[in-house]
Amino acid sequence: MRFVSWNVNGLRACVGKAAIERGGSKEGFDSPEHEQARPKVNGFSEVFRQLDADFFCLQETKMQAGQLDLQFEGYQSFWNYADKKGYSGTAIYTKHEPLSVSYGIGIDLHDHEGRVITLEMADFFLVCCYTPNSQDGLKRLEYRMSWEDAFRKYLKRLDQQKPVILCGDLNVAHEEIDIKNPKSNRRNAGFTDEEREQFSDLLACGFTDSFRYKYPEEVKYSWWSYRFQAREKNAGWRIDYFVISDRLRERLGDAKIHTDIFGSDHCPVELELNIEL
């Protein structure tokens, strides 16, 4: 079973400009000789169909209800919109009928920005999350810490019932291997000691970072600033994740980061689990 997660940084914009390269290995993307443009298949819909996921999760859709009718045959979709227009937002496309769907984490303080959707399936919970950014000057770090505590408790409650698959832009590069320039970013949002410790605390509660578990030493990023030609230089951060309950490790097939897919400042990440519905 295939799961995909992508922060699209505005779905309406991504629909118009997403592209995936033809040919070549993903591993070669970071090499200088790969910087020359290749023919591309344009459009979010083509990317969506090519990845052919059972569950396709989106973050930062930046939409309100009725702004875009984007449906795909064989899928149903669920959307969580922020109260604030053009901000945040999450969505899940699924081939499989959920037992239930919930929005947010049940705490009013945290449930006005459209950041969480949870699908309950027969054998697991799928949680799509767009974690709040601590922002420039860390002016939202205190709120971020309260979010992290509440969200971890939410995941632990779910995990007591059945295994959890958490995906999304979690807005933290956990270890130095997950960021191109760790020293210069030490106190920047997404790489503070506080945020990294919160992620460590989550893993200690019985969860696994699927990509790092599968590839302990691989350097690969999922987000690049639009400034300073960061993507061309591969000066990136790995802040998009699939985090799974520890007891799903034995079912882990693969974990991928699709650096050859464009259309956002993030690229999609993927999880393959040996599980059937």
List the catalytic residues: 130, 169
CA 48 to chain centre: 15
Whole-angstrom Cα distance, residue 16 to residue 18? Answer: 6
Name all contacts of 32-41 with Cβ < 8 Å and 24+ positions apart. 35/232, 40/262
Judge contact between 94 and 74, C-beta under 8 A.
no
For residue 137, count other CB atoms closer than 10 A to its CB: 10
Sign of the CA dihedral running 27, 247, 152, 118: positive
Task: Give the phi and the psi of residue 215 in degrees, each rounded to 5.
Answer: -130, 80
For residue 37, count other CB atoms closer than 10 A to its CB: 7
CA 260 to chain centre: 16
Judge contact between 237 and 178, C-beta under 8 A.
yes
